[in-house]
Structure 1
Amino acid sequence: MNAAPHPRPASGLPGRRGLLGGLLAGAALAAVPALAAPARAEAGPSPSPAAPAGPRATRPLLLGTYTSEGGGGTGIGTAAYDTGTGAITPGPVITGVENPSYLAAHPSGATVYAVAEQAAGAVTAVAIGPDGTYEVLGSRATGGSGPTHLSVHPSGRWLLSANYTSGSIAVHPIAGDGSLGERTDLVVHSSPPPGPGQGGPHAHQVVTSPDGGHVLAVDLGTDTVYTYRLDTSAGALTEVSRAALAPGSGPRHLAFHPGGRFAYLACELDDTMVVCAYDPTTGALTPGPGQSTGTGSGTSYPAQPVVTGDGAYVYLANRGHNSLTRYAVEGGGAALRLLDTVPVGGDWPRQLALSPDGSLLFAANQRSSTVTAFAVGPDGSLTGAGTPFPAPVAVCVLPLP
């Protein structure tokens, strides 16, 4: 796609998707071994040797990629992960989905949604049956270019997507069967002016606040987080507040504390983490000062924070540093204390996800085409679990309940 790249120094660091060095030639994305795929599914590699006997549980893991990249995937991959060891086993691919670089699950667990990150942006719905079968339910245009993130409103009735290249937010209705209707709204970030070095607005994330009262859109190009109210009858967004970040900071992704009064925002261009206060009544987000990612000199292009279910720890993916930063949450969510960084075990960690029970953390490593898993200790410490799992141009990992 012809997405405008993020500004990068003259050193040749990659743009929007990054360099795809170290790809596994001919590798295929993986899927849940129990998944009964229709004829159009592609056969995946042979499963790994059986784990030692004993009580075990495996859960599904979905994988996002770029299908348009050389050495990339061919659709949405799925896999099974061992809840005890973190080991991942492969299977076939859900085909018929273009550039599924970000994935999100419906609260019911019966449907998964994927962006189609390309010039003519789209979102796709995929139904997953109770017996493990799946069906691609169709796609809808987002009205923008290069969608890079999407999320489901807690009501389960609306899909929100962020068009990175065109800097806009789209809303689609979700039918009872999980399929998508025609877009009901499109909001373009026309102001404030783009930040230093940015060619325009670049909406990078759209999420709903924990209380369900507001929708927040993080725009890397305008150094702004926009807050909207969603009319849940009409599927229309109304802006109610804006939070300005430091010029040139490049806010990328935020994650809320489960208490709902604070959020943690990764700024990829100035290499900082920002603690933000959130007012559930007004929707106002108030950013604090940027703080260290613990990666030393150089730019680590932080990608995404995630918060543990108990709100005690925050993890941050650092792409340039190929590490994960661990913070302790203090003051009921109002402060972060840097604890340490650990190697991610791959190259260019684009996205992180905690397992539903919080015992494992997964990292999608774009350049090394791998997914790495970590066991989460009682003190929030991270210990490598299993071996890196090969997944072509892995840019998203979604563990399912």
Structure 2
Amino acid sequence: MGDTRTGQAGAQRRTRAFIGSFTSTGGPGVLAADWDADSGALRVTGESDAVVDPSFLALDADVLYAVSETEEGAAAAFDATGPAPRPLGAPAPVEASGPTHLAVVGGHVLTANYTSGSVSVLPRTADGPLGPLTDQARHEGSGPLADRQAGPHAHQVLPDPGGRWILAVDLGADCVTIAALDPVTGALRPHGTTALRPGTGPRHLAFHPAGTHAYVLNELEPTLTVCRWDAEQGVLTPLGETPVVPDGTAGPAYPSEVVAAPDGRFLWAAVRGTDTLAVLALDPTGDAARLVATVPCGGQWPRDLALAPSGRHLYAANERSGDVTWFTVDPEKGLPEQAGSIPVPAASCVVFG
């Protein structure tokens, strides 16, 4: 998962970080940073405000992709090889409103469009910019919480570990949809839908490193739904739920992101409102998760949580306090200890590559 810094012959590969932020509330846009693998420290090297509200990013080799989370909705490509991200062409319309997440799948980029409740497919062109829409899958359904679930709200789209299936997590319809992507035409073929408990509001999921399970983090109830994943059949089966805040926690709690440890022993979840990181231990089978601790996120409103490629450091993008904090993870207990931070107004996500 390295970003190859080409240039002089014999140049070494190094990993960099990229940070998204909301320009509409004072964020600088997309930032590039050098990453110190030993300390976990980030050092910003440049930024670009070429895209409005690049709330989520995805990196593939030397190209960085960003959503533009706006009413009209777009996605954009950046050259990620220099000290600052450099736009590659104009943003491409996703023909939907409020894209919140995107993923690179082969020769295409897919966006999850929250407001419209759909998934859009855009082709990647040879010289970098994204091409016009090839397909769009519109979700259906609603949930019991009328203010948040009057209709579908796709919040995340990602491929399964084998790359055969596309999963989209829908907060408004309380479900995860499964489809197959035609690598040539960019068409999505619906395959199935897994219904989750009504009112939970699933937001994002993370796969077990073995590819046998998926862990769905719910936003409208602070819980995690453990699911078994059948990669052969493309079937997601819920097994049970576990809380990501302690019993008796006061005040609202809105989970945002979940990541899995490379060895499959732990999960970490960011929770807004309580402004905490939840530490969950997985049993050896992956069939159950148990909340073992929560720690402060080091800021306010952790919208995103990312694990460094080394697996030794966690990064929280704290939107309301305007910073990215990083934590050193105890490999035996899974407990994060804050190690540093950098200011990033309206921070929304962190990705590595």
Instruction: Give the TM-score of the pair, scaled to structure 1.
Output: 0.80
Which residue in the other structure is 1:148 paired with? 100
Q: Is the 8 A contact 2:104 2:110 kept in 1?
A: yes
Which residue in the other structure is 1:206 paired with? 157
Distance 1:356 1:186 in 2: 32
Which residue in the other structure is 2:321 paired with? 368
Matched, 1:219 2:170: yes
Distance 1:253 1:327 in 2: 16
Q: CA deviation at 1:282?
A: 1.9
Q: CA deviation at 1:133?
A: 6.1
Matched, 1:178 2:134: no
Which residue in the other structure is 1:121 paired with? 73
Q: What amino acid is the match of 2:96?
A: G
Which residue in the other structure is 1:98 paired with? 52
**Residue segments in structure 1 that go unaligned for 5+ positions in a row:** 1-33, 35-56
User: What secondary structure, in the 3-state scheme, does the structure 2 residue paired with 1:68 have?
Assistant: helix
Q: Is the 8 A contact 2:239 2:287 kept in 1?
A: no
Write the deviation string for residues 174-204 of structure 1: whole angstroms up to 9, x where unpaired: 1233321111001111x23344322211100
Write the deviation string for residues 186-223 of structure 1: whole angstroms up to 9, x where unpaired: 1111x233443222111000010001110000000010
Q: What amino acid is the match of 1:179?
A: P
Write the deviation string for residues 12-66 of structure 1: whole angstroms up to 9, x where unpaired: xxxxxxxxxxxxxxxxxxxxxx9xxxxxxxxxxxxxxxxxxxxxx9842211111
Q: What amino acid is the match of 1:222?
A: A
Distance 1:112 1:332 in 2: 35
Matched, 1:312 2:265: yes
Q: CA deviation at 1:147?
A: 0.3
Distance 2:259 2:290 in 1: 15
Which residue in the other structure is 1:196 paired with? 145
Q: What amino acid is the match of 1:78?
A: A
Matched, 1:263 2:219: no
In structure 2, which of residues 17, 30, 39 is the aligned counterpart of residue 61 of structure 1? 17
Distance 1:383 1:351, change over 3 A: same
Distance 1:256 1:314 in 2: 10
User: What secondary structure, in the 3-state scheme, does the structure 2 residue paired with 1:303 have?
Assistant: strand
Distance 1:87 1:177 in 2: 33
Q: CA deviation at 1:86?
A: 2.2
Off by >4 Å, runs of 4+ in structure 1: 131-134
Q: What amino acid is the match of 2:190?
A: E
Write the deviation string for residues 207-246 of structure 1: whole angstroms up to 9, x where unpaired: 1000111000000001011000111111111111111111
Cα RMSD after superposing both structures: 1.9
User: What secondary structure, in the 3-state scheme, does the structure 2 residue paired with 1:205 have?
Assistant: strand
Distance 1:89 1:128, change over 3 A: closer
In structure 2, which of residues 153, 167, 191 is the aligned counterpart of residue 240 of structure 1? 191
Q: CA deviation at 1:83?
A: 1.9
Q: CA deviation at 1:354?
A: 0.8
Q: What amino acid is the match of 1:378?
A: P
Which residue in the other structure is 1:137 paired with? 88
Q: What amino acid is the match of 1:142?
A: V
Q: Is the 8 A contact 1:240 1:282 kept in 2?
A: no
Distance 2:338 2:57 in 1: 24
User: What secondary structure, in the 3-state scheme, does the structure 2 residue paired with 1:395 have?
Assistant: strand
Write the deviation string for residues 319-340 of structure 1: whole angstroms up to 9, x where unpaired: 1111111112213322212221
Q: What amino acid is the match of 2:245?
A: G
In structure 2, which of residues 27, 30, 45 is the aligned counterpart of residue 76 of structure 1? 30
Q: Is the 8 A contact 2:301 2:318 kept in 1?
A: yes
**Residue segments in structure 2 that go unaligned for 5+ positions in a row:** 6-12
Matched, 1:391 2:344: yes
Write the deviation string for residues 133-174 of structure 1: whole angstroms up to 9, x where unpaired: 643112111110000000111x3x111100100100001111
Distance 2:22 2:85 in 1: 20
Q: What amino acid is the match of 2:296?
A: P
Between the aligned residues of both structures, percent identity stands at: 43
Alignment: residue pair count: 337
Q: Is the 8 A contact 2:32 2:83 kept in 1?
A: no
Which residue in the other structure is 1:328 paired with? 281
Q: What amino acid is the match of 1:66?
A: F
Distance 1:390 1:62, change over 3 A: same
Write the deviation string for residues 257-301 of structure 1: whole angstroms up to 9, x where unpaired: 011110001111111111011111221111122211133334311
User: What secondary structure, in the 3-state scheme, does the structure 2 residue paired with 1:179 have?
Assistant: coil
User: What secondary structure, in the 3-state scheme, does the structure 1 residue paired with 2:285 have?
Assistant: helix
Which residue in the other structure is 2:43 paired with? 89
Q: What amino acid is the match of 1:311?
A: G
Distance 2:44 2:83 in 1: 15
User: What secondary structure, in the 3-state scheme, does the structure 1 residue paired with 2:24 have?
Assistant: coil
